[in-house]
Amino acid sequence: MINSKELLQYTQNLNLLFVEDHTELRVNTTEILKNFFNSVDSLENGKDAFELYKSKFTSQEPYDIVLTDIQMPKMNGVELIEKIYDINANQTVIVLSAHDESKFLLPLINLGIEHFLKKPIDYQELLTILLNTSKKIALLEDLEKELILTNLSHDVVYDRESKMLLEGQQAIYLTKYELIFIELLLKEGNKIYSNEEIVDYFASLSEKIDPQNIRKLVSKLRKKLPENSLESIYGVGYRIIPYK
């Protein structure tokens, strides 16, 4: 028996698109899904589903999960998934398939479908698949955050996406050269960058920095960073030490 509280923990902030042409099945399943997901949109054919998917994706309110039937009017599930993957190759898709639809399974496997669920729907199996899928989505989101955010102390982070140094929710002002310098130091973890590499990097961005001014830049930046997070190695270069 699926643990509803555990499922809700992972799904309550997710959005789901459900596509199924059988009215009773679509209505009943939608009512169950609404108990767990932030939003559930249900449609009866692939064409309308794709138009809604495009609209949501463009407006930056994308679906986390697409749950779709195969045989539907106007556009079948295989065509729908192909079009979705053209827009978003990383979309998580779960397919409902009847016993007589095996000819569609290989093309769908080649597309990279997350799960298949046989009809008639076993709702415990569906909820188990949704739990595992939602856990995977959460894990990937955590990994993306780790790639975007670099912790420099327990409360100071550098956000590579927004290019901001943050202490709690407060932004710490960085000059143009400080920003370029910290971006370089964070490119390859604990790598030590020499004066020559720093000068070359600035030049690649059409900016000029004199090697003699690098020490001044480091001194100013150090005042804005947590203690001991910017290391100078005499005669070698500089590196950022992430907080563990």
Average pLDDT of span 2-24: 90
Average pLDDT of span 210-226: 91
Model pLDDT for residues 46-69, shown as the tens digit of each residue? 999 999 999 998 888 899 999 999
Model pLDDT for residues 162-211, shown as the tens digit of each residue? 888 888 878 899 999 999 998 898 887 778 999 999 999 999 999 999 98
pLDDT of residue 14: 92
Asked whether 63 and 11 are in contact (CB, 8 A), the reply is no
Two tokens, residue 57: 């994706």
* Residue of 101 and 236 predicted with greater confidence: 236
Distance between CA atoms of residues 230 and 223, nearest Å: 10
pTM: 0.61
Neighbours of 176 (CB within 10 A): 9
Average pLDDT of span 214-230: 91
User: What structural domains and CATH numbers belong to the chain?
Assistant: 4-147 (3.40.50.2300), 152-240 (1.10.10.10)
Distance between CA atoms of residues 151 and 153, nearest Å: 6
pLDDT of residue 145: 55
pLDDT of residue 147: 54
Q: Is 57 left (phi over 0), alpha (psi -120 to 50) or beta?
A: alpha
Model pLDDT for residues 105-130, shown as the tens digit of each residue? 666 766 667 688 888 888 999 999 99
- Is pLDDT of 144 > 60? no
Average pLDDT of span 83-102: 82
**Count of CA atoms in the C-beta half-sphere (13 A) of 163:** 12
Average pLDDT of span 22-28: 93
